[in-house]
Amino acid sequence: MLSRLFKLIGGKFSRWIKAREARDPEAVYESAISDRVRRYHQLKTAAAGVIYMRNKLERELREKLAEMKEVDEEAGQAADMNEDQCALILIQRKHVLDGDCTRLREELGELTSEAEDAKKNLIAFKGEIEKLKVEKVRMIARLKNAQARVRIQRALEEISYDDDVRALEEVRESIQRMLAQAGVNHEIASSELGDKLEAIRQRNAEAKAEAELADLKHKRRPPLAPMDIFTAAANAAANGDVKHAS
C-alpha cells in the first residue's frame, strides 16, 4: 500500500517537474550544464589521482633501476674479492629488484594509458560543456523569438477585422483631409501671388501709358519762343514810355 502511495506521489512530482521544466527551459539548460561541470571536476580529480600515481611509479622505477645498477656493481666487486656469500646475497637482491622493475613497468604502462585516456576525456568533456553553453544561448534566443511571434500573432487575432477596416478608413480619410488642406493653402498662396503680380503689371502699364501721353503732347505742341525775346520787348516798351514822358 505504501509503495503504491509512493509511486503515486513520485508520478505526480515527476509530472510537476516536467511542467516546470517546460515553462523554464533556461533553468533546464543551467541544470544540465551544472551537472556536467560537477562531473567534469570529479573526472579531473580522478585524472589527477591517476597522474599522481603514474609519476610516483616513474620515480620508484628510477630508484629501483639505480639501486639494481649499484647492486650489480657490488656483486661484481664481491666476486672479484672472492666474497661468494656477499656476492650471492647481492645477486639475489638484484633479482628481486629486477622483478620489482618489471612489475613497476607493467603498472606504469597501465597508468600511463589511463592518464592519457583521462586527459582525452577531460578535453572531450570540457568541449561538450562549451557546446552545451553555446546551444543554450542559441536555443533560448530562438525560443524568445518564437514567443515574440506568438504574442504578436495573438495580438493580431484579438483585433477584429471590422476594427482594422474602420481604423484604416479613418486613417485614409485623415490623410485625404490633410492633403486637401495642404492643397487649399497652396492655392490661396498662389492666388495672392497672382493678384500681386497682376497689380504690378497694371501699374507698369499705366506708367508706360502716361509716359507715352506726355511724349505725344510734347511732340504736338509748337516750340516756345525764348524768354530773352520777351525780356527785350518789355525793356523797349519801358524805354519808349520814358521818352514820351520827357
Instruction: List pLDDT tens digits, range 162-191.
Output: 666 677 777 788 788 777 776 656 666 666
Which domain, by its residues, includes 202?
Answer: 162-219
- Same domain? For 61 and 125 the reply is yes
Q: Are residues 167 and 144 both part of a single domain? A: no
How far is the C-alpha of 29 from the C-alpha of 20, rounded, in Å? 13
Residue 110: what are its φ and ψ, rounded to 5°?
A: -65, -45
* Cut 0.85: pTM above it: no
Q: Are residues 101 and 167 in the same domain?
A: no
Q: Is 120 in the same domain as 168? A: no
Q: Which of 158, 182, 202 is the last residue of a domain?
A: 158
Give Cβ neighbours of residue 100 (< 8 Å, ≥ 6 apart): 64
The reply to whether 210 and 137 lie within a common domain is: no
What is the pLDDT, as a whole number, of residue 242?
47
Whether 196 has a pLDDT exceeding 80, the answer reads no
Per-residue pLDDT, 11: 46
